[in-house]
């Protein structure tokens, strides 16, 4: 894959806010035309207008729920109808939640699995054969720094264990696709200042400890612009000051009877 990305076509999911929106602007800044997806049509269309105006690239917003296979198929079909191909996929649409496992609603597991795992894997499956045919492509999966912690953080074990699975999948996929000229990169962000973390307790009490999306943008720009014969397999972008990324999580354990 050439490092000159002008005129390439990328799908970016979760692009209406947070990390996905920042990564869509990184791609647009490299001259890449975009197909952006998220459920909420209003913010998605605003993002498309904003990026098209600022970076002078074409940006097609497609409302899409990544938990629905038909929406993913529609996203890819619209991209191909508009641009003829997909060169780059940035999988970022995601949700999080915080529960002790015994209190976590079963529907919440399903939402996490369908959005954060199947949403990524199904969309890759829908673009991969065309990438193989065209002998180039780049897949960027936004995973999570919480996969670096063992055991995974308490109260996030379903979220984090699905991300561990996604990380393992991405690494395996790289080896399957390497000989087809396709790059697969996992980005492992630490706790970042977005709406997603805004909903989580214990992390945002001191917001100065959260990092901005800038470092993640830099990591993705690096992944997309390294020489054609190199693939950054994983990039961890970890903040210095949040408990998740410490080797031992300093949460207070509560023991029954104390």
Ligand X SMILES: NC(=O)c1ccc[n+]([C@@H]2O[C@H](COP(=O)([O-])OP(=O)(O)OC[C@H]3O[C@@H](n4cnc5c(N)ncnc54)[C@H](OP(=O)(O)O)[C@@H]3O)[C@@H](O)[C@H]2O)c1
* Binding footprint of ligand X on the chain (CB under 6 A): 13-14, 16-20, 37-40, 64-67, 92-96, 115-116, 142, 144-145, 189, 191-192, 194-197
Q: Which is nearer to ligand X, 136 or 245 (CB)?
A: 245
Nearest-approach distance from CB 42 to ligand X, in angstroms? 9
Token output for 139: 């897949």
Cβ 236 to ligand X shortest distance, Å: 10
**How far apart are the C-alpha atoms of 37 and 146, rounded to whole Å?**
25
Tokens coding 128: 């991969």
Q: Which is nearer to ligand X, 94 or 137 (CB)?
A: 94
Label the pairing between strands 234-237 and 59-63: unpaired
Q: Which one, 20 or 153, has the nearer CB to ligand X?
A: 20
Q: What angle do CA 23, 24, 26 make, to 5 degrees?
A: 60
Nearest CB to ligand X, comparing residues 7 and 198: 198
H helix or E strand, kind and range, residue 83: helix 69-83
Kindly state the smallest distance separating residue 40's Cβ from ligand X, in Å.
3
**Shortest Cβ distance from residue 55 to ligand X (Å)?**
19
Angle, alpha carbons 204-93-194 (nearest 5°):
20
């Amino acid at each position: 894959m050439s490092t000159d990305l002008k005129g390439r076509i990328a799908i970016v999911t979760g692009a209406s806010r947070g990390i996905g929106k920042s990564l869509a602007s990184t791609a647009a800044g490299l001259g890449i035309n975009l197909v952006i997806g998220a459920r909420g049509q209003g913010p998605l269309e605003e993002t498309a207008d904003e990026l098209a105006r600022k970076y002078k690239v074409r940006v097609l917003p497609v409302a899409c729920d990544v938990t629905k296979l038909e929406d993913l198929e529609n996203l890819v079909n619209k991209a191909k109808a508009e641009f003829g191909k997909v060169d780059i996929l940035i999988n970022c649409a995601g949700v999080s939640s915080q529960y002790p496992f015994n209190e976590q609603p079963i529907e919440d597991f399903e939402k996490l699995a369908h959005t954060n795992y199947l949403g990524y894997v199904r969309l890759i499956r829908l673009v991969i054969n065309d990438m193989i045919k065209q002998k180039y492509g780049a897949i960027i999966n936004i995973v999570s720094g919480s996969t670096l912690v063992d055991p995974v953080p308490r109260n996030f074990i379903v979220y984090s264990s699905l991300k561990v699975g996604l990380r393992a999948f991405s690494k395996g996929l790289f080896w399957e696709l390497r000989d087809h000229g396709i790059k697969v990169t996992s980005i492992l962000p630490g706790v970042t200042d977005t709406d997603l973390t805004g909903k989580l307790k214990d992390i945002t009490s001191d917001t100065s400890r959260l990092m901005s999306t800038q470092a993640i943008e830099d990591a993705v720009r690096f992944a997309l612009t390294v020489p054609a014969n190199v693939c950054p397999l994983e990039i961890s972008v970890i903040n210095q000051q949040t408990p998740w990324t410490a080797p031992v999580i300093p949460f207070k354990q509560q023991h029954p009877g104390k």
